[in-house]
Amino acid sequence: MGEEVSKKTYYIGVVLIAALVVSIVFLYVYTKPQAPSIEQKVVVYAYNDKITGIDPSVEDDTGLVVLGSIYETLTYYDYKTSEVKPRLAVNWTSSSDGKEWVFYLRKGVKFHDGTPFNSTAVKVSVERARDIYRETGRGMGYIWDAVEEIEIVDEYTVKFKLSYPQRLDLLASGSYAAYIFSPSVLEKAGVSSYMDRELEDWFNNGNAVGTGPYKLVYYDPVREVKLEKNSDWWGWREVSNPNAPDVVIIKIVTEPIAQYNGLLSGEIDIASSVPRENTKTLLEKGFKSINLSTYHNFVLFFNTKRYPTNIREFRLAIVHALDMSRIIRDALLGYGKVASGVLPHGFPGHVDNLVYQYNLAKAREYLSIAGVKSPVTITLLYQVDYEETRKFAEIFKSMMMELGVNVELDPQDWARLKDIAKEIWRNPDETPHLVIADWWPTIPSPYDYLYTMLHSESKEWNFAGYENNLFDDLIDSAWILEGENYTKAIELYVQAQQLVYEDAPAVGLWDEIRPFIYSGRINLPEEALNPLYMFVIRFELVEVRS
Amino acid sequence: MLSILVILGVIVFSYLLLMLTPGDPAVKWAGNPRGPGAVKAIELARVELGLDKPLYVQIANFIYNFLTGNLGLSIAYKIPVSQVIISGFTATLELILFTYLFSIPLGVWLGLYSAIKRGSRIDSFIQSLSIVLASTPTFWLGSLILLASNTFTGFLPYGRVSSKLVLSTGFTQITGFYLLDSLIQGNIPVFIDALVRIMPPALAISVYPIGVLARVTRTLIAEALLEDYVRAAVAWGIKRETIIRQFVLRSIIPPVIQISGLSFVYSLVDAMVVETVVFGREGLGSILLDSLHKADFRVTLALAVYLTAFYIIVNTLVDIVQATIDPRIRL
């Protein structure tokens, strides 16, 4: 035993294996995929989350990234000038009491299936969003809650009658629940009523009939979404961009490092979630960046029903021991602005002087007034989904140690965090003392943030358990006053925020600055991004160079 | 019968585990409602999902729905659960099948060569190598391969196939196995692209089966070479090559198949980790991770059941193949 195998077999084996290895290496090194010349202009946009649905009336989460390209709203919010601009509506008027609004619609607009855009489409779209909300509580149709009746004056004129005054032009520019779809969807989906649940399933299965510059051609919420240019879009003559992409692929790439790799390999043209520490490398390699100051903010909620965070002075001690400049530098690598209040910078109603100064001596003074003996231990509940919150938590813990406050960290993913945090209303003593949550808006109204975060009736999202009748009254009054006297309404919102600043049930931590990195083969103008429409890119403004 | 009991056990255990962990699927189903109607929306969603019923009723309903093929809509994505799982399943299965296409022959060959050269330095080297390969963490190796690829070739093997190439060549999915689909369509650019992208994760995953098979094959062959029938064959003057090919190798096929089968299902876990975290490929790994994060219990449960069934089917197939090859084995 142990004799040599015949040399012939041996050499054949060696040659075969060598041939295999050489072939593999050859294929691997020398046949890197070279895309043949593409006649169509294609842009691949990496988005960092799977799509949760694309029903234009009900969707209120990540589906926005698709909805914003295939549907349009009656008006469009220009965040730079804080003005409401025409879109599907060219003009609008309101009665002096703000309870009657007339919208004059753009003529000659067609939906993607060729059906005409008109008053009927507006009526059906708005009523559906409103009614689904009223009946089931789902979606953001509450923005239309004041709408009592929608009258079709003529084919291109719609009158809204409201039960209380509202800034309907602002609401109509919302990032959710304000999209106009064609009534032909009823026939396509085989339903007789827009309230039929099957219509929702039809939309979420990858069907869409909007008026936008791009139409949906392929929908896989887990992998990618493909959009094709709508050559009949009314706005092409206005944007005057012959180099707009013919095809847009919204590719779901959840890992930031995979987005980075995708940019480098040329697979991705625009990425919105690369690791912050890699952005410099990309810029050095010739990629470009737009740093968008978003309305996406992060807020620290105090459990106002549990000792010691139920003591106002203790909360003030915490906030004065927080060095936010260091957080912005070390946790966010500069991609953030220190928040002032709970409304983000640039958002209507934002107030600039609601920042707590970092002052350890003052913090210790408040701690002493609070009568809380150190060492004391509190729990911080935060999201693991964001790298920034993970880093913040660690730095926060070390900062609080200087104050003599021990912090136990409780990292959770979003679904669990929400579940735990809202228990404050049922079991406050078992709920963490601190919760970090993030927010982005639906409509350009302070009510969107303030109601959801701190109104005593907002049991799902008021993680502070804050109950202040004066605050509730201020913002409820302001919400109604927006339609009658917008300036006065903003004043009330400012008062409400000052109340929050003094009470400190919640503290704005930072407003996100998000870098959109893109390759040199395209040009991404700043106008293509808008913080109200998170992650939506106006591809009709993007130029494909090569 | 036993398999059915196993699956039922997985369903019950998984359901209980999912329902008892924090994370409310009703919130996700309602769409994370934020307005004044949020509470109402969540309560209605709870009823719609059947979560207001006692646990045993919920489990019974799930089993019934599962048996009737009605897995419902994914809570996170609002599309059929089966659609979510199938797209991921084909991606992961393609990766493992490709891996084993070369891992089994290579592992067996190494083991054979080592056995023939037993006692020599080559034998020692191969034995040591197989231990190293079987013990190497796949995640770490995958990261190393990615780094090496980028450093030496400038190419980053990310994703399953280039979206732009798919678009420009008109590639369409037929089976979901891109290598096969591209060959069917005669789409060579996409075939090569998919092949180049699947190789690095396949290499990372292959080390375990190669290592295990090399060791097992070496032991089996070394033992077989000492058997009386081999001595007799040598005495009769039969050529060495013929003895190994016609007698020795045949005798080791059943155990090699069994080891390969066990290793195959083990590699599923490796594949799910490597494809998701290292190479950014779609597959069961990212679907499972997402379903847990988003409290999508329908997808998580369906995955648990399908993976269990997959294990059972593979092991059963292995038994059938063994019984077919070796008449001494009875099922």
User: Using an 8 Å Cβ cutoff, are A359 and A324 in contact?
Assistant: no
Per the document, the length of chain B is: 331
Q: Which of residues 437-466 of A touch B (CB under 8 A)?
A: 442, 451-452, 457-461
Res. B31 pLDDT band, cuts 50 70 90 = confident
Is the Cβ of A486 closer than 8 Å to some Cβ of chain B? no
Res. A352 pLDDT band, cuts 50 70 90 = very high
Q: Give tens-digit pLDDT for B243-268.
A: 887 778 888 888 888 899 889 888 88
How many CB atoms sit inside 10 A of residue A321's CB? 24
For B55, B218, B259, B312, the CA distances from B6, given in Å and listed in that order, are 20, 34, 22, 9
How many CB atoms sit inside 10 A of residue A74's CB? 27
Res. A369 pLDDT band, cuts 50 70 90 = very high
Q: Give tens-digit pLDDT for A197-247.
A: 999 999 999 999 999 999 999 999 999 999 999 999 999 999 999 999 999
Over range B225-234, report the average pLDDT.
Answer: 83
Interface test with B, best of A25, A31, A138 (most B CBs within 10 A): A138
Q: Give tens-digit pLDDT for A437-451.
A: 999 888 899 999 999
Residue A386 has pLDDT above 70, yes or no: yes
Q: Where are the alpha helices (DSSP H) in chain B?
A: 2-20, 25-29, 38-48, 55-67, 81-116, 121-135, 138-153, 163-169, 178-184, 188-224, 228-235, 240-243, 249-273, 284-293, 297-325
Helix A360-370 to helix A387-403 angle (10° resolution) is 70
Task: Tell me if residue A305 falls in helix, strand or coil.
Answer: coil
Residue B112 has pLDDT above 60, yes or no: yes
Round to whole Å and give the CA distance between B262 and A331.
45
User: Using an 8 Å Cβ cutoff, are A256 and A281 in contact?
Assistant: no
Q: Which of residues 86-115 of B touch A (CB under 8 A)?
A: 87-88, 109
How many CA atoms does the CB half-sphere of A58 hold within 13 Å? 30
Is the Cβ of A227 closer than 8 Å to some Cβ of chain B? no
For A184, A231, A303, B247, B326, the CA distances from B232, given in Å and listed in that order, are 83, 82, 84, 12, 22
Residue B329 has pLDDT above 70, yes or no: no
Q: Give tens-digit pLDDT for A458-488.
A: 998 999 999 999 999 999 999 999 988 999 9
Distance from CA of A106 to the nearest CA of B (A): 30
How many CB atoms sit inside 10 A of residue B94's CB? 24
User: Using an 8 Å Cβ cutoff, are A382 and A393 in contact?
Assistant: yes
Residue B153 has pLDDT above 80, yes or no: no
Q: Give tens-digit pLDDT for A256-296.
A: 888 998 899 888 999 999 999 999 999 999 999 999 999 99
Q: Give tens-digit pLDDT for A302-341.
A: 999 999 999 999 999 999 999 999 999 999 999 999 999 9
A220 - beta bridge partners?
A224
Q: Which of residues 132-151 of B touch A (CB under 8 A)?
A: 146, 150
Helix A469-481 to helix A446-454 angle (10° resolution) is 160
Residue predicted with more confidence, A544 or B280:
A544
* Cα-Cα end-to-end distance for chain A: 67
Over range A96-108, report the average pLDDT.
Answer: 95
Residue predicted with more confidence, A528 or B24:
A528
How many CB atoms sit inside 10 A of residue A148's CB? 12
Per the document, the length of chain A is: 546
Residue predicted with more confidence, B26 or A351:
A351
Q: Which amino acid is at A193?
A: S
Round to whole Å and give the CA distance between A472 and A470.
5
Is the Cβ of A202 closer than 8 Å to some Cβ of chain B? no
Please give the share of chain A, as a percent, with pLDDT higher than 90. 83
How many CB atoms sit inside 10 A of residue B173's CB? 13
Res. A20 pLDDT band, cuts 50 70 90 = confident
Task: Tell me if residue A370 falls in helix, strand or coil.
Answer: helix
**Pairing state between β A506-518 and A522-523:** unpaired
Contact A249/B282, CB-based, under 8 Å?
Answer: no
Is the Cβ of A229 closer than 8 Å to some Cβ of chain B? no
Q: Where are the alpha helices (DSSP H) in A293-359?
A: 312-320, 324-330
A6, two tokens: 């015949």
Pick from A17, A134, A452: CB nearest B34: A452
Going by the DSSP 8-state scheme, the letter that residue B137 receives in this structure is -
Closest residue by Cα to residue B253 from B331, B325, B316, B314: B325
Taking CA–CA distances from B77, the nearest residue in chain A reads A52
User: Using an 8 Å Cβ cutoff, are A451 and A349 in contact?
Assistant: no
Residue A357 has pLDDT above 80, yes or no: yes
Cα–Cα–Cα angle for A85, A87, A92, rounded to 5 degrees: 65
Contact B45/A138, CB-based, under 8 Å?
Answer: yes
Taking CA–CA distances from A223, the nearest residue in chain B reads B282
Round to whole Å and give the CA distance between B209 and B107.
7
Round to whole Å and give the CA distance between A48 and B104.
37
Q: Which amino acid is at A138?
A: R
Res. A26 pLDDT band, cuts 50 70 90 = low
Contact A385/B293, CB-based, under 8 Å?
Answer: yes
Tally A–B CB contacts below 8 A. Answer: 217
Pick from B195, B241, B244: CB nearest A27: B195
Q: What's the pLDDT at A36?
A: 45
**What's the whole-number average pLDDT of chain A?**
92
What's the pTM value of the predicted model, to 2 decimals?
Answer: 0.87
Q: Which of residues 245-304 of B touch A (CB under 8 A)?
A: 276-277, 279-280, 282, 286-287, 290, 292-295
Q: What's the pLDDT at A7?
A: 67
Residue A135 has pLDDT above 80, yes or no: yes
Contact B31/A254, CB-based, under 8 Å?
Answer: no
Over range A52-58, report the average pLDDT.
Answer: 95
Q: What's the pLDDT at A2?
A: 44
User: Using an 8 Å Cβ cutoff, are A216 and A70 in contact?
Assistant: yes
Q: Give tens-digit pLDDT for A144-188.
A: 999 999 999 999 999 999 999 999 999 999 999 999 999 999 999
Distance from CA of A522 to the nearest CA of B (A): 15
